[in-house]
A and B are shown apart, each in its own frame.
Chain A
């Protein structure tokens, strides 16, 4: 059967072009892939190649013709044994390409991807232990490593040095060098290795000494970790946690003071967490390690040494995607994440209830000595007047940025 050679689209934007030159004439034999004509597109002059072998039976569009529409027949190719009388072009060249579907910007009858993720939070009312944020992070990793053999930790100085900020202290001793892995100073490379290992089904926890250095690895975090699931139609995900201190520490200049919450919060495919207290840090890091998605976990160096009470229940874990109400009030809602929760807490207390005066941000660990309602406004022991400390104050930043699922329930802080 004779084959029509159609005017090809040689670039995504081409609708018509000039058939500038025939490189073969009627009767010539051609092989698949051989150039048969030259065409001028809107961008360049390119060659048309034969898609099959055969003999040029008839040239339908003479050289020099301008404005030849894409998909119009330009020649007829005969198969072995055919004659040019078989070379009658079909009257209409149909264009089988489907029209692009109309796209609505709003998902119709489709639940937004982030809805319904947060499960009802269990009320952790049992006994607590006092932990620094640093210890809470370490315990979260250790507990998850005991629970799942596929979890491992890699990063600069995480093993023998015991962590640049001592967050991974003791992990090498418990889990050995197979699972606690010192890397060279090579963020782009080890982030990529972590992502590859996660593609293969492992659950890496990749520590960046600080998030400032992760800019070297940004491409692997965004292009490989975050975007693959969508581009794979859901077939290949990346269960990985990238973690480390984020935001300004103290007197470290601009290169070491960047907060990346907004950057990563704008990347579809990433979950972004920024805990405040030890309980937040532990409960959310455990959840992050179990999560099947890439999670960016933003810690704060200044918070590492601060003590908070953490539920002692070995099953303690917190839901991702749900903000915590630190304090209810009547007039204004203040939202914050990471260290700013305590900063707002102090100012809020000082300004609103004249309860301040505590320069020391460390929480004491005694329960309130009497119900807050009966307390004096300047009582130093009452929880109402303390910086919020027993409560979880991390906000979950998800792919649509900062979300507060409890905003309807009352004011934050």
Chain B
């Protein structure tokens, strides 16, 4: 449980630092922060094995960190530097690590459902026992290609968990204004079971994820997890979030914060003391500060990089 606390705190502090660097003009372009949603990826990934594949959309920094990608490399990519995971050519939404089986980082809303099904297809084709997890948001869950992927994933019994990170708002449009019915039930017509999960509670997410992983890995085909979560920040850095009340955000923060939640549970268990948390906080802060320093010290990509990596040569 302490590890969950540390993982979630790392994401939170990393994202706060990213917001700060954005404010200083060091991060340009798009930047979608994961603050508030930390329990989703930490809970799900805790149920996976290293051979399993992960793909997500553009609110992706947390997924990278939990997949074991280095904070330095991610922060340097956010600042568009040569030391970033994509040499500064991908930015916030586009980082990849074959080693960690992390396949991005995609900016097209809904694309991760079929792409993730493709990763699952590869696991099945190679019979390597791995499964795929495809993350997308409640906004993406209305895209047609998601349902094309459901159909084939079910038909071919692909080992994939479709994870809908439902934070209540597809950009500025609330669920009530944009989505009919429950996302977890939208697989029913395809024979795909779904479950709604409390995404502000990392232990609940883990429990559901373990069940889903077991179901999918056993060859039963895909499963859908609709994880109910909340983002404290706007959709992106330039979103003033006028479509919801301050009280709503405050209430989620004060009463449902996933990090405070697990902290309380750990303290109550008596296994760790305040000092342990202080040390964890400091360790996380050191990692994050180091990443910001690394990012700022890393050079801008050379202009000649514009002409490379368009095609694999040779």
Contact = CB atoms under 8 A, between A and B. Distances in A.
Contacts of B253: 33
Nearest to A7: B23
A237 B312 contact: yes
Interface in A68-104: 70-71, 95-98, 100-104
A44 B118 contact: no
Nearest to A31: B253
A253 interface: no
Contact of A193 (B23, B55, B90, B117): B117
B263 interface: no
A80 to B, nearest CB: 12
A224 interface: yes
B280 to A, nearest CB: 15
A199 B240 contact: no
Contact of A97 (B26, B55, B116, B308): B26
Given A6-B24, A33-B35, A235 B86 contact: yes
Interface in A99-122: 100-104, 107-108, 110, 112-114, 117
Contacts of A100: 300
B90 A232 contact: yes
Interface string A46-74: 11010100000000000000000011000
Contact of A108 (B13, B242, B304): B304
Nearest to A181: B156
Interface in A205-240: 219-220, 223-224, 228-237
A113 B311 contact: yes
Nearest to A114: B311
Interface string A29-55: 000110100000001111101010000
A98 B88 CA distance: 14
Contact of A236 (B98, B107, B238, B240): B98
Contacts of B302: 101
A348 interface: no
Contact of A200 (B53, B111, B304): B53
A242 interface: no
Interface in A174-212: 178, 183-184, 186, 188-202
A236 B104 contact: yes
In this complex, the member of A11, A12, A104 whose beta carbon has the largest number of chain B beta carbons within 10 angstroms is A12
Interface residues of A, number: 75
Given A103-B303, A223-B108, A232-B94, A9 B24 contact: yes
B307 A107 contact: yes
A292 B117 contact: no
B74 interface: no
Contacts of B117: 189, 192-193, 196
Consensus secondary structure, chain A interface:
loop
A325 interface: no
Given A10-B23, A96-B296, A196-B116, A233 B122 contact: no
A51 B306 contact: no
Contact of A201 (B22, B122, B149, B307): B122
A197 B113 CA distance: 12
| Central interface residue in A8, A113, A231, by most chain B CB within 10 Å | A231
B125 to A, nearest CB: 6
B96 A399 contact: no
Interface string A1-20: 00000101111100000000
Interface string B21-57: 0111110110000010000000000000000010100
B151 A186 contact: yes
Interface in A382-398: none
Nearest to A34: B253
Contacts of B96: 228, 232, 235-236
Nearest to A269: B310
A101 B312 contact: no
B240 A113 contact: no
A34 to B, nearest CB: 9
Given A196-B55, A224-B115, A293 B311 contact: yes
A410 interface: no
B84 to A, nearest CB: 8
B118 A229 contact: no
A199 B312 contact: no
18 contacts: A9-B23, A51-B16, A51-B19, A51-B20, A71-B24, A100-B300, A107-B307, A110-B304, A192-B118, A193-B115, A195-B114, A195-B118, A198-B118, A229-B309, A229-B312, A232-B89, A232-B94, A234-B308
Interface of A: 6, 8-12, 32-33, 35, 43-47, 49, 51, 70-71, 95-98, 100-104, 107-108, 110, 112-114, 117, 152, 178, 183-184, 186, 188-202, 219-220, 223-224, 228-237, 268-269, 271, 291-293, 399
Instruction: In the A-B complex, list the 6 residue pairs whose CB atoms are closest, starting with the nearest.
Output: A196-B118, A192-B114, A189-B148, A8-B23, A200-B122, A233-B87
Given A10-B238, A192-B118, 5 more contacts: A12-B28, A100-B300, A188-B114, A219-B108, A233-B86
